[in-house]
Amino acid sequence: MQLTPFGTTMNGQDVGQITLDNGTLRISVLTYGAILQSVHMNGVDHNLTLGTQSLADYEDKMQYYGTVIGPIVNRIAGAKVEIDGLEHRLEANQDRRHSLHSGSRGLHKQVWDIADYSDHSVTLKLRLGDGVCGLPGNREFAVIYQIEDATLTMTIKAISDEQTVMNIAHHGYWNLNGHGPFEGHSMQVAADAMLPTTDEGIPTGEIAPVDGTIFDLRQETRLVPDTHHFDHNWVLSDRRQTLRDVAWLRGQSGVSMTVSTTECGLQIYDGRDTDNHGFVNKAALAIEPQSWPDAPNHRSFPSIDLGAGEPYLQLSRYTFAKED
């Protein structure tokens, strides 16, 4: 492991950059937001994920690039949740009505501590006090990045001393070609259904079959930015599972990525605003293993309740390959 200074946040906290390299895969992780800043594969001359060398950009316009987002990723309609019979108000940072990605004090806005490391892994830890992000419980979080051969494994753990809600995700943007929009990529997702949304991106509560729609990616499908407009959750299962392969992404460059996860949902975002962040429009796809969004407002969705002392554990794995 190599640790180098990356900069200082606007409120004066030092940020480090951790580099792990096993000869096949090299990744860089920042202590700010537990960001996965870069992924390089031996024999491939470009970064496979979107990142920047500017800490100021990560604090501002690129606040969701490569970050770990929680305690609640995605949207909560009305910016409120009920926990154990009590209503808790969240930050209404989307249209002043809804909560998006836990607001301005979420995990992506925090400087994490390095708790442990080895040649090929690093563990980052963070504590959020009771009431931070509008939610109960003194909560402890850990993110473990580990590389082995051409595989990156991400383990996310959490625990709370009070009943709370928890739905965490890594918000990485992937372009396996290294440039341009995601045109030329093909994708497959092991899901028979998805969650339709309102114009505000809030799930309607319906669980819709993908048959006959642009969301049917059960067979490898060539993606077209002008056609495939995605900011939706694919239904992988109705509860957390053991680790299994759920999605496959392939670029024209010959690089492919297999996504495996324990989670019951997969949010895919088409990057329609990346041109506001120094890239071209739809420069990459955000692929986010998570539980179903807005679950507290839909009793038919898998619950994201987390009891006091109950461990939260999410495992996701990204396996890369390159055609000769």
d(CA 92, CA 75): 10
Give pLDDT, residue 224: 95
Greater confidence, 159 or 180?
159
Give pLDDT, residue 256: 98
Backbone φ and ψ of 162, nearest 5°: -135, 160
Give the right CATH number for 2-322 from 2.30.180.10, 3.60.15.10, 2.70.98.10, 3.40.50.1100. Answer: 2.70.98.10
- Give the pLDDT band (50/70/90) at residue 38: very high
Q: 95-141: per-residue pLDDT in tens? A: 999 999 999 999 999 999 999 999 999 999 999 999 999 999 999 99
Tokens of 194: 């998805």
- Give the pLDDT band (50/70/90) at residue 174: very high
- Give the pLDDT band (50/70/90) at residue 179: confident
Give pLDDT, residue 10: 97
- Residue 262 CB neighbours (<10 A): 21
- Residue 25's alpha-carbon distances to 149, 175, 217, 320, in angstroms, are 7, 16, 28, 9
Mean pLDDT in the chain? Answer: 97
- Residue 4 CB neighbours (<10 A): 9
Tokens of 160: 């709370």
- Residue 147's alpha-carbon distances to 24, 41, 316, 318, in angstroms, are 9, 11, 12, 10
Angle in degrees, CA 83, 67, 122, rounded to 5: 105
d(CA 79, CA 304): 16
- What b/e readout covers 75-94, taking b as 16+ CB neighbours within 10 angstroms? bbbbbbbebeeeebebbbbb
Tell me whether the omega of the peptide bond preceding residue 71 falls within 30 degrees of 0, making it cis: yes
% of residues, the chain, pLDDT over 90: 98
Beta sheet of 255-261, edge-to-edge order: 113-118, 121-128, 139-148, 151-160, 312-322, 255-261, 244-250, 186-189, 221-222
Mean pLDDT of 237-248: 98
pTM of the full predicted structure? 0.97
Ordered by start, the domain boundaries in the chain are 2-322
For residue 324, pLDDT over 80 is answered with no
- Residue 213 CB neighbours (<10 A): 11
Residue 234, amino acid: W
- Give the pLDDT band (50/70/90) at residue 188: very high
- Give the pLDDT band (50/70/90) at residue 2: very high
Q: 206-216: per-residue pLDDT in tens? A: 999 999 999 99
Tokens of 202: 């809030």
Q: 289-316: per-residue pLDDT in tens? A: 999 999 999 999 999 999 999 999 999 9
